[in-house]
């Protein structure tokens, strides 16, 4: 097999795997929306990521849905009476605002959808996220060892809740876990419910399984829902007025000083902080990260970015392994010692055999044979194959077609065929050698005549 064929055997599977992983990542990102997107679980958005269908279902059951776009206003809206504060995107809350979630009035239910660890810690909830899944799984409410105590969601036999699981950090009996630990409830004067997935509340998934029954039953317990609809990261709340250094003069007009409740009312009466617009939407470049908290590199990019980076690194590693130890063009180096020719030929032949490079071996043999035949038969270098085949056939006595197939044909497919090709090429090369010149037989030595005698030689 040629180098191009071996390269295709490596590159094509790697590219196919990279394409499959890219399609999987893109599909997953489309299927799982980002809670920071505008309109995510908004009661007024009719798209797949909105929550208008859930709001309409609550309205049909007589539940009052009050939409608030500011966290402080939403907190104040829960004070007239029992209410359910629904926070579909807790990670958009400002860290200083999350602490107020623990000051809700008695009889209020707080519902958080997939809150991050920092929100759980700031709100004082003894929970810790663990075992996050790649995609949401639909599970029944009851577990093997105990049943779910939330009677309002038990009619939903199966709901897509199990994406993020939770474990209690305090006493296990203080937390009720349902739906394979994808739902956690903390009882008390203020009831807190944490849901590990947004699928049951979204328009695009609310009709799957029993998501509609689950979401409606979870939010309709108090008869009034305060829906916190944030369009982006919440700006920091206004700084409290510092206390004076000297006590104020006594007042004798009978008017008492405003209490803390009136201060909270002044924060939520429509006044906005600098750099923010009504509705909880940041308008300045410093709206994000203005709390001064560190922003590590891991949280600076979305999870899919790191997953894609890991896949690219694995693809590069597979390409490097496929190319074995040679990551660049070969560099010729002088041999430190003299190697016998027979040993060099044997080692090179074993490398060709190990790589199953029959095509390369046949090309090397044919090129060497053509060079020898052209030199011995006095053929020009640019002679066409037909001329070479005819000339060699005239010398060997074979048919020109057979010589053409032998010198320019396809590569053999087996090792035996390669050996037969080498033998035929050797035969043709020997047939092209000039006939050896035989020496002439030795001529007979001339007869030696007797030397004539002189007259004085008589004895």
In degrees and rounded to multiples of 5, residue 359 shows phi and psi of: -65, -45
Tokens of 3: 């180098």
How far is the C-alpha of 211 from the C-alpha of 179, rounded, in Å?
12
pLDDT given for residue 269 in this prediction: 41
Which residues have C-beta within 8 Å of that of residue 312, sequence separation ≥ 6? 18
Which residues have C-beta within 8 Å of that of residue 173, sequence separation ≥ 6? none
- Which of the residues in the chain have pLDDT under 70? 1-8, 25-32, 240-300, 323-330, 432-459
In this structure, the strands spanning 165-168 and 159-162 are unpaired
CATH topology of domain 36-234: Rossmann fold (3.40.50)
> How many C-beta neighbours within 10 Å does residue 271 have?
9
How far is the C-alpha of 229 from the C-alpha of 217, rounded, in Å?
20
pLDDT given for residue 272 in this prediction: 37
Helices in 189-256 by DSSP H: which ranges?
211-219
How far is the C-alpha of 343 from the C-alpha of 335, rounded, in Å?
14
How far is the C-alpha of 101 from the C-alpha of 122, rounded, in Å?
9
Q: How far is CA 23 from CA 18, 175, 409, 423, 440, in A?
A: 9, 39, 44, 53, 85
Pick the closest to residue 109 from 48, 192, 183, 45 (CA basis): 192
Q: What are residue 92's DSSP bridge partners? A: none
Domain boundaries, given as residue ranges, for the chain: 1-34+302-323, 36-234, 355-430
Taken as a whole, the chain contains a residue count of 459
How far is the C-alpha of 18 from the C-alpha of 125, rounded, in Å?
42
pLDDT given for residue 243 in this prediction: 53
> How many C-beta neighbours within 10 Å does residue 221 have?
18
Q: Quick one: 286 exposed, middle or buried, by C-beta within 10 A (0-12, 13-18, 19+)? A: exposed
Tokens of 188: 């008390």
How far is the C-alpha of 150 from the C-alpha of 139, rounded, in Å?
15
DSSP-assigned letters across all residues of 341-395: HHHHHHHHHHHHHHHT-HHHHHHHHHHHHHHHHHHHTT--TT--HHHHHHHHHHH
Could you give the angle at the alpha carbon of 450 between the alpha carbons of 448 and 451, nearest 5°?
A: 115
Are 10 and 319 within 8 A, CB to CB?
A: yes
How far is the C-alpha of 434 from the C-alpha of 177, rounded, in Å?
97
* H/E segment holding residue 11: helix 3-31
């Amino acid at each position: 097999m040629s180098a191009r064929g071996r390269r295709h055997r490596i590159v094509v599977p790697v590219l196919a795997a990279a394409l499959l992983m890219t399609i999987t990542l893109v599909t997953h990102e489309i299927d799982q929306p980002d809670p920071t997107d505008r309109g995510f679980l908004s009661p007024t958005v009719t798209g797949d990521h909105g929550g208008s269908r859930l709001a309409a279902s609550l309205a049909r059951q007589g539940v009052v849905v009050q939409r608030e776009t500011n966290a402080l206003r939403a907190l104040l809206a829960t004070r007239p009476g029992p209410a359910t504060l629904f926070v579909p995107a807790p990670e958009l809350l400002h860290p200083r605002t999350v602490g107020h979630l623990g000051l809700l009035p008695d009889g209020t239910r707080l519902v958080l959808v997939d809150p991050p660890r920092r929100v759980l810690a700031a709100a004082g909830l003894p929970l810790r996220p663990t075992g996050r899944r790649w995609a949401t799984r639909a599970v029944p409410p009851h577990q093997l060892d105990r049943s779910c105590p939330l009677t309002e969601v038990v009619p939903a036999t199966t709901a897509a809740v199990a994406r993020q699981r939770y474990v209690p950090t305090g006493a296990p009996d203080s937390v009720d876990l349902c739906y394979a630990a994808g739902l956690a409830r903390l009882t008390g004067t203020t009831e807190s419910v944490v849901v590990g997935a947004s699928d049951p509340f979204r328009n695009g998934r609310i009709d799957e399984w029993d998501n509609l029954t689950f979401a409606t039953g979870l939010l309709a317990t108090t008869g009034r829902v305060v829906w916190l609809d944030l369009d982006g990261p919440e700006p920091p709340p206004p700084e409290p007025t510092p206390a004076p250094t000297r006590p104020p003069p006594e007042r004798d007009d009978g008017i008492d000083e405003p209490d803390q409740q009136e201060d909270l009312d002044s924060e939520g009466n429509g006044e906005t902080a600098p750099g923010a617009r009504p509705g909880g939407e940041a308008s300045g470049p410093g709206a994000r990260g203005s709390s001064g908290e560190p922003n590590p590199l891991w949280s600076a990019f979305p999870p899919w970015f790191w997953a894609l980076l890991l896949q690219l690194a694995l693809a590069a590693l597979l390409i490097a392994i496929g190319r074995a130890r040679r990551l660049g063009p070969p560099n010729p180096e002088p041999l430190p010692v003299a190697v016998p020719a027979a040993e060099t030929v044997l080692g090179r032949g074993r490398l060709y055999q190990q790589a199953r490079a029959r095509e390369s071996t046949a090309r090397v043999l044919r090129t060497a044979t053509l060079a020898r035949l052209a030199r011995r038969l006095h053929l020009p270098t640019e002679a066409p194959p037909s001329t070479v085949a005819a000339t060699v056939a005239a010398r060997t006595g074979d048919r020109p077609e057979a010589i053409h197939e032998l010198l320019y044909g396809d590569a053999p497919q087996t090792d035996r065929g390669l050996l037969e090709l080498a033998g035929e090429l050797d035969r043709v090369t020997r047939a092209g050698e000039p006939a050896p010149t035989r020496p002439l037989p030795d001529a007979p030595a001339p007869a030696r005549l007797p030397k004539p005698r002189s007259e004085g030689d008589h004895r």
